[in-house]
Structure formats: C-alpha cells, structure tokens
C-alpha cells in the first residue's frame, strides 16, 4: 500500500505542524506558559525619549542616549501614515533609532498620531507643507542648526521627497527608505490593484470618511497571503521553545496589528495623483499651487531599496536618483523585504552601520 504522504507531494512538503507526533505536541504545549510569559514582557518602541513638539495629533520624539553626540546636524525620521512609527525602534537589538544613537547622532521621530473623523479633510498639503515644515523648523531651532537631515520610510519617504523639493534650504541630507516615487511599475501589485478601472477610491472615502484599517491591512496581508496568514504561524509552532524568536514574533505582531486609519482626503489624493496618475515622477504634482519638481533636490541623497520588497518594488524607488538635481547621490539595493529593511538581523549587521557612516561623513560635527 502506497504511503499517503508519498502519493501527495503537497503533504510531503508540509511541516510537522500538520502531522505532529504526540511527543512533539506535548513538548510544545509544555512550552506554552513560558511563551506567554515571554510575550508579556515584550515592550516595543522602548528607547527613552521626550516629546519636544506637538501639533494637533502630531508629536515629535527626541531620543535619549548615553553615547556622546558626535554630529551636530539633527536627524528626523519620518514614517508612513499607515501603522505606527515605532517599527523604526521595534526592539533594542532591532532598532534603526538605536543604530543612529550609537553612531553619535541626535535623533528625532515624527509620530503622526491617529486621525479621527474630524481629520478626514486633511490633505497631503497639510502633512507636507504644514506639519513637516513646522517640525523641521522646530527641530532646527531646538538644536540651533540651520538644517536637519531627513530619513523617510515608505510613504514617509515620498512625503520627505516632496518636502525637500519645496524646502531644500532646510534639508542637509536626504535618505529614502523603500519609498515609492514612480507608479508605472506593473510588477507592483498595489499599482495593479489601484487601477482606476477597478478601484474606486472616491466610493471608499465618501462611504467611510477616512481610509479604514480593515481595508488597508487586508490589502497588505493579501500581497503575500501564505506568508502573512499561514507560514508565520507554522514558524511560531515550530519555535515555541525559542525565547528570542517569541520576543521578536510578539513585537512584530504587536506592530502589524497596531493599525491606524489614513485621513480620507490624503488617501484620496495619494491614490489619484500618485498611484493612478503618476504625477510626482512626471513633475506635474502640485501642493498649494506649487509644482513638486524633484530636480530642486540638490542635497546628498541616499536611496535604500529592498530587493524582496512586495509592497514597494525597486522599480518604484530607483527612478528617484535620476529625477533629483543632486550630484552626491547613491542607491543601495539590499537583500531584504519591506519591513526587513528596518528590523532584519542582516540589515542591522551589514546595512545600517554603512548608512550611519554615509550620513556621518555629510553631517556637521560638534
């Protein structure tokens, strides 16, 4: 009689989660209490900080460090409006914030806050021309510097590019991190899914006011359904005895499920002007009647891309270096995913020390 796993190639590849031995099952159940206790101890975004600026829902964090400051030019981190920005400070050993602090930088982070229904009128103009400009001005005054360095991640990188093109005088160095600036790459699933033939953004925002979390996170999960809905739980089952793995898994799940909506008019504008019309890279996008011309960017530019990024493809980020007016510009493609670029162990060993070195060479010294 033929073995059932031999007759079904799919089943032969499935891990022991689906065919557990009694001993394996008992061992994992015995590990459950310790796993729960480990998960309870996890604290995300743990680097000490003060809030040095508030405006509406927005706050600006100033991070503390025992490492003496070496660089006078402050660094501002700008994340997307989707999810919380503590992905840049997830755990002490998986923290972009900590990488810069240990290299002697003075680090700040924008926490956009959570938009409510009365914030649905906020547009990209509000975020880039008002909030970001007020933050950069305040940090410059707070540190007694004329300019700041700016790192923008994902949608926050897109906003950072827009801001720098309008206020190059405020930005000494610009780092983009998995940031889309061109939406013609048909390899990007989100570009296909938001095609106006199929995606009616007006209907969504008119119905909800703000872009709701269940629509946003549902779309992100479906970009890699097996990894997001099946594989990670298989990994959890198989590594229930690994305390470090449980800590990192809990931290990531905390962040992934800590969802926030996006202000309705900002989402409508971003989908229409960027995803559907590709106005930014075409030089036709306007904020407050001012055209966003990326060639106005002349400061040093570092463009970080992830080769396995399923959310923002390299094809959406790479064109940026050819659109800016900077002579000092560099593109780095690193083997990681969209989130792995900020929390991956290999990224923290190999990429971020080099990024800190690049920025240090272009920052004012104390």
The active-site residue, picked from 129, 299, 338, 356, is 338
Tokens describing residue 219: 């779309």
The residue ranges of DSSP E strands in the chain, in sequence order, are 49-55, 58-63, 75-78, 89-91, 94-95, 107-111, 148-153, 171-177, 286-287, 290-291, 301-306, 329-334
- Spatial CB neighbours of 59, under 8 Å, sequence gap ≥ 6: 51, 53, 110, 111, 113
The DSSP string of 248-310 is: HHHHHHHHHT----B-HHHHHHIIIIIIIT-TTTTT--EETTEE--GGG--S-EEEEEETT-S
Our answer to whether residue 200 is catalytic in this structure is no
CA 208 to CA 202: how far, in whole Å? 10
CA 204 to CA 63: how far, in whole Å? 38
Which residues are 301's β-sheet partners? 174, 329
The active-site residue, picked from 154, 274, 299, 314, is 154
| CA 316 distance to own-chain centroid | 15
Instruction: Identify whether the C-beta of residue 159 lies closer than 8 Å to the C-beta of residue 285.
Output: no
The DSSP string of 75-119 is: EEEE--SSS-GGGGEEETTEEHHHHHHHTT--EEEEE-----GGG
Sign of CA dihedral 283, 176, 53, 74: negative
The active-site residue, picked from 111, 119, 309, 356, is 309
Our answer to whether residue 78 is catalytic in this structure is no
Our answer to whether residue 154 is catalytic in this structure is yes
CA 260 to CA 115: how far, in whole Å? 8
Residues serving a catalytic function are: 154, 309, 338
């Amino acid at each position: 009689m033929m073995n059932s796993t031999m007759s079904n190639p799919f089943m032969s590849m499935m891990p022991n989660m689906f065919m557990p031995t009694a001993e394996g099952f008992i061992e994992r159940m015995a590990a459950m209490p310790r796993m729960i206790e480990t998960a309870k101890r996890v604290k995300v975004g743990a680097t000490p900080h003060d809030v040095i600026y508030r405006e509406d829902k927005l706050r600006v964090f100033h991070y503390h460090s025992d490492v003496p400051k070496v660089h006078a030019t402050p660094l501002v981190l700008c994340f997307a409006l989707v999810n919380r920005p503590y992905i840049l400070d997830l755990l002490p050993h998986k923290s972009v914030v900590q990488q810069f602090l240990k290299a002697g930088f003075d680090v700040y982070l924008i926490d956009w806050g959570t938009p409510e229904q009365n914030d649905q009128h906020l547009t990209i103009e509000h975020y880039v021309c008002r909030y970001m400009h007020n933050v950069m001005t305040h940090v410059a005054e707070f540190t007694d510097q004329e300019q700041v360095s700016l790192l923008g991640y994902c949608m926050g990188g897109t906003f950072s590019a827009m801001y720098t093109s309008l206020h190059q005088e405020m930005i000494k160095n610009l780092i983009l991190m998995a940031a889309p600036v061109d939406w013609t790459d048909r390899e990007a699933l989100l570009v296909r899914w938001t095609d106006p033939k199929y995606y009616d953004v007006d209907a969504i925002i008119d119905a909800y006011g703000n872009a709701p979390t269940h629509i946003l996170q549902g779309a992100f999960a479906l970009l890699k359904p097996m990894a997001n809905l099946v594989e990670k739980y298989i990994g959890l089952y198989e590594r229930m005895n690994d305390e470090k793995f449980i800590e990192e898994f809990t931290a990531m799940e905390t962040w992934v499920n800590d969802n926030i909506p996006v202000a309705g008019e900002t989402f409508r504008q971003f989908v229409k002007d960027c995803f559907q019309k590709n106005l930014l890279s075409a030089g036709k996008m306007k904020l407050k009647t001012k055209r966003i011309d990326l060639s106005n960017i002349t400061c040093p530019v570092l463009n970080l891309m992830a080769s396995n990024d399923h959310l923002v493809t390299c094809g959406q980020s790479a064109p940026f270096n050819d659109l800016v007016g900077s002579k000092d510009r560099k593109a780095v493609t690193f083997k990681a995913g969209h989130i792995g670029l900020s929390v991956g162990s290999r990224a923290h060993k190999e990429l971020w020390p080099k990024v800190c070195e690049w920025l240090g060479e272009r920052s004012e010294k104390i």
